Structure formats: structure tokens, C-alpha cells
């Protein structure tokens, strides 16, 4: 639908829960493809805001820095509730995306990348959440980072840093051990880049 044809009427917007996350109850109508307005629709929206992820890559060692941490959403995962991820965190008020990328890399992996390359952004689950994730790529020296610990104690973060050779990362991707969207998107981007560079 063209931008000028889009129309949304918000009839009611109420916060029904506020905690670690916020949940809104929204009543709205929107324009249909046939030009009419929809009936009133009620939706709950998980208000999460924006986050930033950073794919940390060591070109000299051909290795990727991954983090491993417990995730409540993976409680019933048949493999583990401890997921392999890339560094990531929520954008706080008045922070630039680049500032968040550097802060999270320092807090979670103990490094501060200088040059950041923007990969892109995506909605995580737009059917019920506002969360957008911006992904960056950064080249670093991963010496001494393997099996170190990271995270912010006040935020109950308990993170293990892993430096894995690219060949093992590919195995982890292909076997399904890396099974979260942000890490998969970032690593598939690197996989395509590597294929393009070697062609």
C-alpha cells in the first residue's frame, strides 16, 4: 500500500502493564486494501523500543566473538536455555546507536570497537512487539577474550564470552545450535560477505 493511501485511527491506547517490559492495549482501525476502513481491532503491544546488536569479528584469527547467556524465553528449548548470541542491548534515552554498540561491546565482551559498519535494522516480532534491532559489524582483536566473563551485575547479566573460529561458527549455525534471529541474521550477513570476497 502506498504511503499516501495508509491511514490508521488510534481510538484507545492504554498501558496495562509496566515492568521489565511494558504492554499496551490498543484499539484502532486501519485502511484496507479495498479502500474501506477496517472494523475496530484490539491488539496488545509489547512496547520494547529499539536495540542494537554488534557482530564482533577478528579478521586476523578468522574468528567471531559470541556470548552465551541464560534466556527466559528459551526455557523449553530442547537444547538449552543458554543461547549463543552476538553482543546486544537496549537503546537508552539520548544514546546514539553507535554509542549503544560500543557500550554493549564493552559491558558484555570487554572490548570497545572503534569502527562500526551498519548492516541494517529489522522488527523482531511486529505482530505483537514494537522492538526494532539495529545490527552493526565491527572488526576487533579477540586476543585473550575466550572464556572470559561479562555482563552488568545490576542487570542480572551473567555472560560467558566465546571466541570461535569461523569454521566452527558455520557448524553451529548449520546444526541449529545458534538459534536466535539476531545472531542468525548477523552471521548470515558475514557468510554472504565472505562468499562475495572469495569469489
Rounded to the nearest 10 degrees, how much is the dihedral formed by the CA atoms of 24, 50, 21, 11? 0
Integer Cα distance of 193 and 199 in angstroms? 10
Is 6 a residue whose pLDDT tops 90?
no
CA 25 to chain centre: 24
Rounded to the nearest 10 degrees, how much is the dihedral formed by the CA atoms of 33, 36, 42, 46? 40
Of all residues in the chain, the percent with pLDDT exceeding 90 is: 80
- Is 155 in the active site? yes
* Span 9-57, pLDDT tens digits: 999 999 999 988 899 999 999 999 999 999 999 999 998 889 999 999 9
Confidence (pLDDT) at 193: 94
Is 1 a residue whose pLDDT tops 70?
no
Catalytic residue among 12, 15, 92, 155: 155
Integer Cα distance of 74 and 179 in angstroms? 10
Is 4 a residue whose pLDDT tops 80?
no
DSSP the chain: --GGG--EEEEEEEEEEESSSEEEEEEEEEB-TTSSBPPPEEEEEEE--EEEEEEEEETTTTEEEEEEEE-GGGTT-SS-SEEEE-EEEEPPTT--HHHHHHHHHHHHHS---S--EEEEEEES-TTTB--EEEEEEEE---TT-TT-EE--GGGT--EEEEEEEHHHHHHHHHTTSS--HHHHHHHHHHHHHHHHHH-
Cell numbers placing 178: 545458534
- The structure's pTM equals 0.90
Confidence (pLDDT) at 5: 75
Amino acid at each position: 500500500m502506498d504511503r499516501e493511501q495508509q491511514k490508521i485511527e488510534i481510538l484507545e491506547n492504554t498501558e496495562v502493564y509496566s515492568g521489565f517490559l511494558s504492554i499496551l492495549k490498543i484499539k484502532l482501525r486501519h485502511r484496507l486494501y479495498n479502500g474501506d476502513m477496517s472494523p475496530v481491532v484490539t491488539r496488545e503491544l509489547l512496547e520494547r523500543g529499539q536495540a542494537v546488536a554488534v557482530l564482533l569479528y577478528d579478521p586476523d584469527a578468522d574468528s567471531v566473538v559470541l556470548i552465551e547467556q541464560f534466556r527466559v524465553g528459551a526455557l523449553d528449548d530442547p537444547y538449552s536455555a543458554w543461547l549463543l548470541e552476538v553482543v546486544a542491548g537496549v537503546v537508552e534515552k539520548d544514546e546514539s546507536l553507535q554509542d549503544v554498540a560500543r557500550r554493549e561491546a564493552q559491558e558484555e565482551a570487554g572490548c570497545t570497537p572503534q569502527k562500526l559498519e551498519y548492516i541494517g535494522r529489522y522488527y523482531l516480532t511486529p505482530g505483537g512487539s514494537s522492538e526494532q534491532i539495529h545490527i552493526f559489524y565491527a572488526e576487533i582483536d579477540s586476543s585473550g577474550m575466550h572464556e572470559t566473563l561479562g555482563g552488568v551485575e545490576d542487570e542480572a547479566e551473567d555472560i560467558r564470552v566465546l571466541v570461535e573460529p569461523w569454521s566452527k561458527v558455520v557448524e553451529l549455525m548449520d546444526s541449529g545450535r545458534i538459534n536466535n534471529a539476531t545472531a542468525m541474521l548477523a552471521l548470515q550477513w558475514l557468510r554472504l560477505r565472505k562468499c562475495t570476497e572469495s569469489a
